Structure 1
Amino acid sequence: MSGSIIGILLATTAVSALIGVFVSNLFGLSAEGIVQGAREMARGAALETRLEGLASVSFADMITSFFPGNPFADLAGSRPTSTIAVVIFAAFVGVAGVTVARKEPELGASFERFVDVAQSIVRTLVRMVLSLTPYGILALMTKVVAGSNVSDILTLLNFVVASYVGLALILVMHLCLLAFNGISPLRYFKKVLPVLLFAFTSRSSAGTIPLNIDTQVKRLGNGEGESNFSASFGATMGQNGCAGLYPAMLAVMIAPTVGINPLDPSFIISLIAIVTISSFGIAGIGGGATFAALIVLSALDMPVALAGLLISIEPLIDMGRTAVNVNGAMTAGTITSKWLGHSDAGLFARDEEPELELKNS
């Protein structure tokens, strides 16, 4: 299960990077001629400072950060790698629970009962919070619109349009993968649309995890293991929008400023390889599109400060990137659940919600 989900996440990230190269060349994007104001220069300086801190993080430190030193602190999200740490901690607890169940069946049954009760309570709390989603979406959209500068958006409109064309192509790729595996793309999209809308407005893959899992289990009919694993790991690695498309587009934009032909096959191959590898390690050093761009640009020996040129339109693009990230995670979970025979075809084919049907009966 883990190999399948992680493999799909990384493979789709590689294709997303290729899509980023394609749309950037199609729209003729380049960092040359973009005016650097005070905000852009300050952001560039901050990125260079942040890169110095990232350079001091060794591979061993990155791997170590995946494991929980204090599981309660990670449950509170105290570190950038808390999500992965919680998943690993849960795996250890699960192994211990299975071991106890084999040696002492009564205690094992009590532990399983405790987990089931805790899960039901958490899901109920999540549904209570999600009932307020429409009001939260209104507030978030109001904040984005109020904080956007129209003139800046018009100046970089070409990049905004190219980004959303690339994101649309990635969504098409996801739907094609589902169709290839015998899953109706239209029915799938209809069921996950509320999740994508929430991710779009919240701009948080981690914040969408509860809704992601609930939708996979309750609406798509995926196995609980695949749903939990794909939602958790999909929020911290192999993000198609933030770690795939965005760094590739930036690299293609900046390439002409340092004398690199963005259409050179060797450059494209190395870019895709670096994007794919770095998308796996992003979680170890913080996660997000900015960190992905820092790692990719520094690995290609490009000036990272130029990434600050897009600060004025960052929120506008980040909404679409987050939705694509979340959809990539759900796609990986759905396909893996189908492969392993853990999917509920009847639930997926049903238009009514299980809770609604129960009330009617």
Structure 2
Amino acid sequence: MKERSSLIGVAVLGLDRKKPEQAQTFRNVIDAVYAVVMRIVTLVLKLTPYGILALITKVVATTNPDEILKLIKFVLASYVALLVMFVIHLILLALFGYNPVTYVKKVLPTLVFAFTSRSSAATIPLNVETQTKKLGVSDGIANLSATLGATIGQNGCAGIYPAMLAVMIAPTSWDFILTLILVVTVSSFGVAGVGGGATFASLIVLSTMNLPVALAGLLISVEPLIDMGRTALNVNDSITAGLISGKVLKENDQDVFNDHGMDLDATARS
């Protein structure tokens, strides 16, 4: 795909010299297609809450109370695990000299967007803007951490959720836990940063561990509820990685991170 894109780019540049009108027409077509795709993404994001409501309604209408109670317990357990991991992120930031309270205040709007959209990929622009303009991370590190974090090393979708499913249906031992950690780590590479990506990550982990993959299907009715929290954690871990990387590489601006006036101005404009 990259090779084809390069060839198209070279061809368009060559066409600029010979037939600039046609080259411009091609660019206009690409811009139009891009606009349509972004409009589709916007519509999907707007319709997502209604889809979640429909899934919840179906579960409540077709499941007996005992089964619903079990699903509620699993949702609560998932959010406890996500909260624990979020606290670990704050501890890491504190160890590197960042104020966790200031950090939470600055990234909260981005995490709320990730929570409601259920898409790490859709949050990339806001993620980069938050890192560079509110947290003082350099452009290069912010772009790298945000884009890679949308598909690699997702703590929520590719880490916690598959591990929880595996532990639920298999006897735990040190050998099993170590193998599970290794499999989860490897499977976290390349997970799609869109809603439902954790289901595919779970299928990879369960099948690799020779565990029944049907469990992922049984929980798919409540998966959107958990996915909102997982996505927020995924985005938070990419921001955390950007901040820590900037600190280690000395490419962070601590004054921007500590500047509270910028947050007040942004709030006033919104």
Q: TM-score band, normalised by the shorter chain?
A: 0.7 to 0.9
Q: Which of 139, 145, 148 is residue 56 of structure 2 equivalent to?
A: 148
Residue 196 in 1 paired to residue 105 in 2?
Answer: no
Report deviation, 1:141: 3.9
Q: What CA distance in whole angstroms lies between the structure 2 residues aligned with 1:289 and 1:69?
A: 30
Q: Which of 227, 235, 248 is residue 142 of structure 2 equivalent to?
A: 227
Q: 1:352 to 1:142 in 2, by over 3 A?
A: farther
Aligned to 2:130: 215
Report deviation, 1:138: 8.0
Report deviation, 1:301: 0.8
Aligned to 2:202: 293
Aligned to 1:246: 161
Aligned to 2:28: none
Larger mean CA deviation between 347-356 and 293-302 belongs to 347-356
CA contact (8 A) 1:230 1:333 kept: yes
Q: What CA distance in whole angstroms lies between the structure 1 residues aligned with 2:224 and 2:197?
A: 13
Report deviation, 1:305: 2.0
CA contact (8 A) 1:218 1:354 kept: no
Residue 335 in 1 paired to residue 269 in 2?
Answer: no
Larger mean CA deviation between 138-147 and 345-354 belongs to 138-147
CA contact (8 A) 2:106 2:263 kept: no
Write the mapping of 1:241-320 to structure 2, written as runs, cut at 5 A: 241-255=156-170, 261-262=171-172, 264-282=173-191, 288-320=197-229
Report deviation, 1:204: 0.3
For residues 82-115 of structure 1, what are the alpha-carbon distances to aligned partners after superposition, in whole Å with 9 as ceiling and x for unaligned?
xxxxxxx9xxxxxxxxxxxxxxxxxxxxxxxxxx
- Amino acid corresponding to residue 134 of structure 2 in structure 1: R
Report deviation, 1:355: 9.9
Q: Which of 46, 57, 70 is residue 4 of structure 2 equivalent to?
A: 70
Q: 1:187 to 1:137 in 2, by over 3 A?
A: farther
List alignment gaps of at least 5 residues for structure 2: 10-34
TM-score (norm 1): 0.57
Q: What CA distance in whole angstroms lies between the structure 1 residues aligned with 2:219 and 2:212?
A: 14
Q: 1:192 to 1:70 in 2, by over 3 A?
A: farther
RMSD: 3.0
Q: What CA distance in whole angstroms lies between the structure 1 residues aligned with 2:243 and 2:51?
A: 33
Report deviation, 1:220: 0.6
Residue 321 in 1 paired to residue 226 in 2?
Answer: no
CA contact (8 A) 1:212 1:326 kept: yes
Aligned to 1:3: none
CA contact (8 A) 1:137 1:198 kept: no
- Amino acid corresponding to residue 145 of structure 1 in structure 2: L
Q: Which of 55, 72, 79 is residue 157 of structure 1 equivalent to?
A: 72
- Amino acid corresponding to residue 70 of structure 1 in structure 2: R
TM-score (norm 2): 0.76
CA contact (8 A) 1:221 1:348 kept: yes
Report deviation, 1:280: 2.0
Aligned length, in residue pairs: 226
List alignment gaps of at least 5 residues for structure 1: 1-66, 73-88, 90-124, 256-260
- Amino acid corresponding to residue 187 of structure 2 in structure 1: S
For residues 34-63 of structure 1, what are the alpha-carbon distances to aligned partners after superposition, in whole Å with 9 as ceiling and x for unaligned?
xxxxxxxxxxxxxxxxxxxxxxxxxxxxxx
Write the mapping of 1:155-194 to structure 2, written as runs, cut at 5 A: 155-194=70-109
Q: What CA distance in whole angstroms lies between the structure 2 residues aligned with 1:70 and 1:313?
A: 40
Higher relative contact order (CA 8 A, sep 6+): 1
Q: What CA distance in whole angstroms lies between the structure 2 residues aligned with 1:184 and 1:354?
A: 15
Q: What CA distance in whole angstroms lies between the structure 2 residues aligned with 1:184 and 1:346?
A: 12
Report deviation, 1:147: 3.6
Q: What CA distance in whole angstroms lies between the structure 2 residues aligned with 1:269 and 1:354?
A: 43
